[in-house]
Amino acid sequence: MTSRPASAIDEDIVEDDEIVDEGEPAAKPVWTGPSAARWALFTGIAIAIVVADQLTKSWIVANVEKGSGFSVLGTWLNFVYGQNSGILFGLVPQSATAFAIVSLVVIVLIVLYHRRAGRGIVMSIATALLLGGAIGNLIDRLLYGAVVDWIDMGIGQWRFWTYNIADAAITTSLVLIFVAAMFPAVAEWGTDD
């Protein structure tokens, strides 16, 4: 049996059963998609959004007459039962059926996008919020023919659009995706290697 001189052994680093010269950086493994734990996080957040969204909407529909509501925090926060047959902020009204079909396609695209971009935890959270919001509003379109909106915020006569938990999740998701696009390092936080 021949032995190598100690100086030759010191020059090599053993990594994953391969000998790599110390001067050459080891090849970074190729990311093949989110881990099972990351998929669980993604799914759990989406389910939590759908459940919270649907429970609150069910409560509003059962306890408040359509078009009416009540004050929670003076004029700053009201719960008002309204329906939106369009998309976010009431744009393109009377299109619930068309948007239900579009929502199904969007849901598939969100899952596929997470499969590709869900390496960082920020992107997993963002896509999970987007998925939960899309599913929550899709359920409304299928059940009521419109999205149930109930959160009315503002100061005095200055009001924001009436929205729901699904809308809030979608908006938060879009902000996170925008920030990650502007600052790519954010998209890599908490990478799932």
Q: What is the end-to-end Cα distance of the chain in Å, rounded? A: 40
Q: What is the pLDDT of residue 78?
A: 93
Tell me the residue type at 19.
I
Give residue limits of the domains in the chain.
35-187
Which pair of structure tokens corresponds to residue 143?
């059940």
Q: What is the pLDDT of residue 66?
A: 93
Which pair of structure tokens corresponds to residue 49?
């959004």
Which pair of structure tokens corresponds to residue 85?
């047959």
- DSSP 8-state assignment for residue 190: T
Q: What is the pLDDT of residue 47?
A: 98
Q: What is the pLDDT of residue 9?
A: 47
Cα 101 from chain centre: 20
Which pair of structure tokens corresponds to residue 25?
């950086």
Q: What averages of pLDDT result for each successive group of 10 residues across the chain (193 residues)? A: 53 50 66 88 97 98 93 92 73 64 90 88 96 96 92 89 95 96 88 75
Q: Write the DSSP assignment of 63-129 as a string of letters.
A: HS-TT-EEEEETTTEEEEEEEESSSGGG-S-S-HHHHHHHHHHHHHHHHHHHHHHTTSHHHHHHHHH
Residues with catalytic roles: 149, 167
* Residue 78 CB-half CA count within 13 A: 21
Q: What is the pLDDT of residue 30?
A: 81
Integer Rg of the chain from CA:
24
* Residue 134 CB-half CA count within 13 A: 21
**CA 170 – CA 111 distance, rounded (Å):** 14
Q: Cβ(102)–Cβ(108) under 8 Å?
A: no
